[in-house]
């Protein structure tokens, strides 16, 4: 006859997950798995485009945008790797590893947002005050990343050399708000400039044509709203302008939606603290990957059509 054996409190006391409540252990595993998934996705993104990226680096002089293009995903990968080590290994200096990972997180976000800064500076090449304004705004955005370091509160898992995330404080969202505000201002400024220049250019062309509107791609009878909607959609813009506008739309839509969703989760009190820390992790690789993708596409467009994104005449749609 089989005898029943009463289970002890810890089936295996050497397994750190047994030191956590069941819900905490489950969420800890979710956090670890999510981190591994995004580490793999980011490495895949780097390897898939490594040939194109090397070609871009080879064709362009090493300047700040190129360096940010290189290091945005490098810092993001290092951040995800450090987070993976923190979740899977027993390290004596876990707190140092955590804060090192958070520094890499801030640097990755700073590099990604700098690429967006360079886009608005190129579009407003003849407006130095606008360039200064967005430069200061980028510095403020980067300074907001300090809240990543001071609002994270890890705690030791009893009896182990591992730490668990006890959740970010509400003020942690300031670091996300900074990026959202900066990206929104840059996106609106670029869209406004491109659309305004297109509308002004077409009105000049229409003023010199006959009433039949011959040889005009867009009818002269269009309302102001129709002009603006056509320009903002990018359908009637020159190829370079359309590439700048649509690239910004892709980056903005993807990253801002992800960040706002993260803020909502962070502010819900019923969400487990470990899950709150987990939802922040994907933001860094996604942000870096999208910023580098937009930069890469524009550089490839520049090489393919022989235009320069810093050419003021091209950006102002000279014909």
Total number of residues shown for the chain: 319
What mean pLDDT is predicted for residues 41-53?
92
**How many helices (H) does the chain have, and how many strands (E)?**
12, 2
Q: Which residue has the higher pLDDT, 195 or 260?
A: 260
- Whether the CB-CB separation of 194 and 244 falls below 8 Å is answered with yes
* Whether pLDDT at 218 is above 60: no
Give the model's confidence band at 38: pLDDT under 50 very low, under 70 low, under 90 confident, else very high.
very high
Backbone angles phi, psi at 10, to 5 degrees: -120, 115
* Whether pLDDT at 310 is above 80: no
pTM above 0.85, yes or no: no
User: What is the C-alpha separation between 243 and 57, in angstroms, rounded?
Assistant: 20
Q: How many CB atoms lie within 10 A of CB 156?
A: 13
What pLDDT is attached to residue 235? 61
Return the closest-CA partner of residue 78 out of 58, 112, 102: 102
The runs of H, that is alpha helices, within 124-150 are 128-144, 146-150
263-292, pLDDT tens digit by residue? 888 888 888 888 888 888 888 999 899 889
Q: What is the mean pLDDT of the chain?
A: 76
Q: How many CB atoms lie within 10 A of CB 104?
A: 21
* Whether pLDDT at 255 is above 70: yes
| CATH of the domain spanning 22-315, picked from 2.40.50, 3.30.310, 1.20.1070, 3.40.50 | 1.20.1070
What pLDDT is attached to residue 126? 84
């Amino acid at each position: 006859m089989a005898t029943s054996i009463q289970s002890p409190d810890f089936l295996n006391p050497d397994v750190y997950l047994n030191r956590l409540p069941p819900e905490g252990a489950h969420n800890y595993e979710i956090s670890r798995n999510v981190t591994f998934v995004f580490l793999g996705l980011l490495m895949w993104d780097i390897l898939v485009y490594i040939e194109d990226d090397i070609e871009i680096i080879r064709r362009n002089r090493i300047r700040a945008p190129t360096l940010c293009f290189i290091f945005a995903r490098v810092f993001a990968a290092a951040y995800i790797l450090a987070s993976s080590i923190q979740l899977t290994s027993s390290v004596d200096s876990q707190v140092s590893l955590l804060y090192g990972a958070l520094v890499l997180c801030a640097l990755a976000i700073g590099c990604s947002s700098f690429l967006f800064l360079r886009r608005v500076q190129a579009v407003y090449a003849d407006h130095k005050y606008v360039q200064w304004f967005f430069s200061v705004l980028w510095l403020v955005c980067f300074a907001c990343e300090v809240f990543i370091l001071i609002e994270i509160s890890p705690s030791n898992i009893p009896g182990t050399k591992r730490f668990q995330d006890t959740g970010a404080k509400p003020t942690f969202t300031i670091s996300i708000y900074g990026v959202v505000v900066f990206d929104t201002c840059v996106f609106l400024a670029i869209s406004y400039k491109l659309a305004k220049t297109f509308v002004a250019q077409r009105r000049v062309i229409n003023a010199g044509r006959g009433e039949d509107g011959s040889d005009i791609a867009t009818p002269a009878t269009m309302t102001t709203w129709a002009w603006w909607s056509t320009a903002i959609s990018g359908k009637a813009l020159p190829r370079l302008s359309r590439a700048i506008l649509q690239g910004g739309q892709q980056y903005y839509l993807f990253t801002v939606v992800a960040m706002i969703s993260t803020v909502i989760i962070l502010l819900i009190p019923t969400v487990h603290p470990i899950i709150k820390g987990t939802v922040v992790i994907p933001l860094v690789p996604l942000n870096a990957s999208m910023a580098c993708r937009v930069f890469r596409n524009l550089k490839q467009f520049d090489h393919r059509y022989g235009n320069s994104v810093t050419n003021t005449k091209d950006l102002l749609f000279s014909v």
